[in-house]
Amino acid sequence: MTGGSRLPHFADRLAALVEERRSRVVLGLDPDPASLWPEALERFGGGSAGGRFARANTAEAVVEHCRAAIVSAGPACVAVKLQLACFERLGAPGWEALEQTVAIARDHGLLVIADGKRGDVPVTARAYAQALVGETPGPFGPVAGLGADAFTANPLLGRDSLEPLVEAAAAAGAGCFLLVRTSNPGAVELQDQGDPPLHERLARLAHELGERRTGSSGLSLVGAVTGATQPALLARLRELMPRAVFLLPGVGAQGGRVEDLGAAFAPHPAAGLVTASRSIVNAYAERGGDPAAAAAAAAEELRNAVGGLSGH
Amino acid sequence: MTGGSRLPHFADRLAALVEERRSRVVLGLDPDPASLWPEALERFGGGSAGGRFARANTAEAVVEHCRAAIVSAGPACVAVKLQLACFERLGAPGWEALEQTVAIARDHGLLVIADGKRGDVPVTARAYAQALVGETPGPFGPVAGLGADAFTANPLLGRDSLEPLVEAAAAAGAGCFLLVRTSNPGAVELQDQGDPPLHERLARLAHELGERRTGSSGLSLVGAVTGATQPALLARLRELMPRAVFLLPGVGAQGGRVEDLGAAFAPHPAAGLVTASRSIVNAYAERGGDPAAAAAAAAEELRNAVGGLSGH
């Protein structure tokens, strides 16, 4: 990076896309090699089973699966959220599949959120920032990272572990979503404990890190992951983080309901993003028929449901 | 995995190696492409600067750097701790370099700790477990993961996010080190807050997850990352986690002193592992001379210093 942003402010890019696409839906891609769409396996075709090519073949099939999901469900969405674990488990070919999926999403006009929930001591946080939104200087010239538009981060290690991530995001025109209250049942065990509860401490931290990093939309590049499964908390979290974009997982399979999420969207049309993975990609299991058609329909329905919420 | 462990219990494997090598030192490898050992660059040689090969060349040089560090400092250590961020920032070739470094460490008789501090909702935790210590079923046959002997994990998401990691570790004969109190200055901000402080809650959680997963050494496969920079906390943490192996970062560059770490080692010779990265790999900057010789000397000195502590 040579000073100045590569791109406009993340929240402004997001706000423009929300306006243009009339959508606040994020397509989550958590590809499971054991349940790829049949068309992905067919399109890939050439793979022979087992042996030393299993890994490379699987990674290529994963790319085709993600491509098909993006082509069908993408038009109803503003971004994809790529679950890094699902690519990492395929090793080096999996990371290559991740890179290819980033490119495909971008070609389809979608922002890319790298969902890795990284968090580490400052020197290592800088390395993660290089991996996700920056580049790494080296003896043979700089090495470009993934080039994500935004990423998720785990704040447990505290402010000094987050500053390098936020600074790198700012330099790249990217966004950083801090975990504040996750959507899993076990979240209550630690995140809701204490007085004030840990999730309020995390919310204050996210607000402080982001409050002077707002775009012309008034929204900050420091966002928050706030599970849709605990709608009762959202109003308080919005109070604590008036400028944060809320990334809302947990609608559908995990039990969250779109109509309960109003507080998330109150300050701005782009202040809340509903992320859905299995309820779109695996919609055909419930709806029947073609996976692509079912995914397109599920994404479109979710777009409409979220579209009816406030946000100016 | 087809039921039963691939390998004996992690803590027993660790205890045997601590006994055999008379060492409780972990060599941290956080390769920075901008400061690789000159011999790594020379051995690699062939690379031309810049352009599309920068990334692959850098990754290959990183492997040579790690190999040289393992060959020189490894004999005084029981394990390597590989900082995943430093490999990920080189993309797919970086992940390949990670896999090669795992193989090199194993060839030199060292256990491999994958330091990625992952943590996610249960379904994703299972994917991380597959990536680190398991395998992923798929249409072309199973895809093997990294095959680490142990890994670090971030517990912020709570017990349901950790159980899949711990179960996968048990099935693979691997260990899982939960972050309890990290070594960075910012750790105080969240981990020391509350009553009881969050680090005590995390310690209880680590103990509960691990107390029935002990080997014949009496130590559990669920360990804890407990920074050497806060020695005053160690006695209390040891009380809360009598069966956990403590992974102790922060000695040296971050200010932790080996002689303050006694409580960590009290229950068993293998109950504490001191991890050192830059203070070994970059020892030549202070000591002068050959990087390999300086690293070997620094690792040997640390082995001796830690060897003098109790543990039975």
Question: Would you state the pLDDT for residue B53?
Answer: 85
DSSP output for chain A: --SS-SSS-HHHHHHHHHHHHT--EEEEE---GGG--HHHHHHH--PPSSGGGHHHHHHHHHHHHHHHHHHHHGGG-SEEEEEHHHHHTTHHHHHHHHHHHHHHHHHTT-EEEEEEEE---HHHHHHHHHHHHSEE--BTB-EE----SEEEE--TT-HHHHHHHHHHHHHHT-EEEEEEE-SSTTHHHHHT-TTTTHHHHHHHHHHHHHTT-B-TTS-BSEEEEE-TT-HHHHHHHHHH-TTPPEEE--BSTT-B-GGG-HHHHTT-TTSEEEEESHHHHTHHHHH-S-HHHHHHHHHHHHHHHHHTS---
- Enumerate residues 145 to 174 of chain B having a beta carbon within 8 A of any beta carbon in chain A: 145-146, 154-161
Structure-token pair, residue B277: 């990265």
Using CB atoms and an 8 Å cut-off, which of residues 66-85 of chain B contact chain A?
83, 85
Q: Which of B143, B279, B282 to mutate to test the interface with A (most CBs of A within 10 A)?
A: B143
Element spanning B253, H or E: none
Please indicate whether, in this complex, the C-beta atoms of A85 and B117 are within 8 angstroms of each other. Answer: no
Closest to B245 measured CA to CA, from B215, B289, B281, B201: B215
Mutate one of A35, A99, A121 to test the B interface: name it (highest B CB count within 10 A).
Answer: A121
* CA B224 to each of CA A59, A124, B152, B172: distance values in angstroms, whole numbers, following the listed order: 34, 19, 8, 19
Give the alpha-carbon dihedral of A208, A212, A213, A214, to 10 degrees: 110
Q: Does A204 touch chain B (CB under 8 A)?
A: no
Four-residue CA torsion sign, A283, A289, A291, A295: negative
The confidence score (pLDDT) of residue B58 equals 95
Q: Which residues, at least 6 apart from A30, have a Cβ–Cβ distance to it below 8 Å? A: A83, A85, A86, A277, A278, A281, B123, B124, B127
- What residues have CB less than 8 Å from A71, skipping those under 6 apart? A108, A292
Distance from C-alpha of B11 to C-alpha of A129, rounded to nearest angstrom: 33
What pLDDT does A53 receive?
85
pLDDT tens per residue, range B58-80: 999 999 999 999 999 999 999 99
Cis peptide before B196 (omega within 30 of 0): yes
pLDDT at position B50, please? 56
In the stretch 40-59 of chain B, residues with CB closer than 8 A to chain A read 41, 47-51, 53-55, 57-58
Spans in chain A with pLDDT lower than 70? 1-6, 44-52, 310-312
Residues in chain B: 312
Taking only residues 250 to 309 of chain A, the set having a beta carbon closer than 8 angstroms to any beta carbon of chain B reads: none
**Per-residue tokens: B310:** 């109790």
Q: Which two tokens stand for residue B102?
A: 């795992």
CB contact under 8 A, B184 and A161: yes
CA distance B132 to chain A (A): 7
- β-pairing verdict for A272-276 and B25-29: unpaired
What is the bridge-based pairing of β-strands A272-276 and B222-226? unpaired
Question: Whole-angstrom Cα distance, residue A136 to residue B61?
Answer: 14
Among the options A24, A117, A243, A303, which is catalytic? Answer: A117
Verify whether the Cβ–Cβ distance A158 to B189 is below 8 Å: yes
Give the single-character DSSP code of B34. Answer: G
Reported as a single tens digit per residue, the pLDDT across B93-104 is 999 999 999 999
Among all residues of chain B, which has the CA nearest to that of A197?
B194
Asked if B162 and B125 count as a contact pair (C-beta separation under 8 A), the reply is: yes
- Tell whether A118 is within 8 A of chain B (Cβ): yes
d(CA A128, CA A172): 14
- Which residues share a beta bridge with B115? B83
* pLDDT for position B7: 87
pLDDT score, position B49: 55
**Nearest-by-Cβ selection for A156 from B131, B136, B179:** B179
Strands A143-144 and A135-136: antiparallel
Any idea of the CA torsion for A197, A202, A203, A206, to the nearest 10 degrees?
170
How far apart (Å, rounded) are the C-alpha atoms in residues A95 and B20? 37
Q: Tell me whether residues A201 and B191 touch, CB distance under 8 A.
A: no
Kindly state the tokens that stand for B290: 């050959």
Q: Determine the pLDDT at residue B254.
A: 81
Contacts of B16 (CB under 8 A, 6+ apart): none
> Are the C-beta atoms of residues A76 and A299 closer than 8 Å to each other?
yes
pLDDT reported for residue B311: 62
Residue B252, pLDDT > 50, answer yes
Name every residue whose Cβ is closer than 8 Å to that of residue A227 and which is 6 or more positions away in sequence. Answer: A181, A182, A183, A184, A187, A248, A249, A250, A254, A256
Residues of B in contact with A145 (CB under 8 A): 89, 91
Candidate from A125, A184, A249 with C-beta closest to B158: A184
Query: Which pLDDT score, from 0 to 100, does residue B188 have?
Result: 95
Annotation says A81 is catalytic: no
**Chain A partners within 8 Å of B155 (Cβ):** 156, 190
Give me the residue label for tokens 């803590």. Answer: B11
DSSP-derived letter for residue B256 is B
- Domain spans of chain A, in order of start: 10-307
Q: B199 is written with which tokens?
A: 């680090």
Contact A139 B205 (CB under 8 A): no
Task: Note whether B139 contacts A186, CB cutoff 8 Å.
Answer: no
Burial letters B146-180, b for 16+ CB under 10 A, else e: bbbbbbbbbbbbbbbbbebbbbbbbbbbbbbbbbb
Fold of B10-307: TIM Barrel (3.20.20)
Both tokens of B33, joined, read: 């492409």
| B118 beta partners | B153
Q: Using one digit for the tens of pLDDT, what is the confidence trace for B134-157?
A: 999 999 999 999 999 999 999 999
The SS3 assignment for B36 reads coil
Beta strands at A79-83 and A111-118: parallel, antiparallel or unpaired: parallel
How far from A222 is each of A5, A145, A204, CA to CA, in Å?
Answer: 16, 20, 12
Reference A43, options A67, A71, A70; nearest CA is A67
A143, B58: Cβ pair inside 8 Å? yes
* ipTM confidence score: 0.96
Kind plus residue range of the DSSP H or E element containing B131: helix B122-133
pLDDT of residue B3: 42
Please answer yes or no on whether B120 and A117 come within 8 Å at the CB atom.
Answer: yes
Distance CA B88, CA A258 (A): 35
Q: And the tokens for B212?
A: 């029935």
Tokens coding B140: 């072309």
- Choosing among A156, A166, A177, A208, which should be mutated to test the B contact, i.e. which has the most B CBs within 10 A? A156
Rounded Cα distance, B3 and A209, in Å: 47
Is residue B1's pLDDT more than 50? no
Residue B112 has pLDDT above 70, yes or no: yes
Count of Cβ atoms closer than 10 Å to residue B208 Cβ: 12
SS3 (DSSP) at B291? helix
DSSP string, B166-235: HHHHHHHT-EEEEEEE-SSTTHHHHHT-TTTTHHHHHHHHHHHHHTT-B-TTS-BSEEEEE-TT-HHHHH
Cβ-proximal residues to A178 (8 Å cutoff; 6+ apart), any chain: A152, A153, A154, A155, A162, A202, A205, A206, A209, A222, A223, A224, A225
Please provide the distance, in angstroms rounded to a whole number, between the alpha carbons at the two ends of chain A: 36
Catalytic residue among B9, B21, B24, B117: B117
Per cent of chain B over pLDDT 70 is: 94
CB pair distance less than 8 Å for B41 and A139: yes
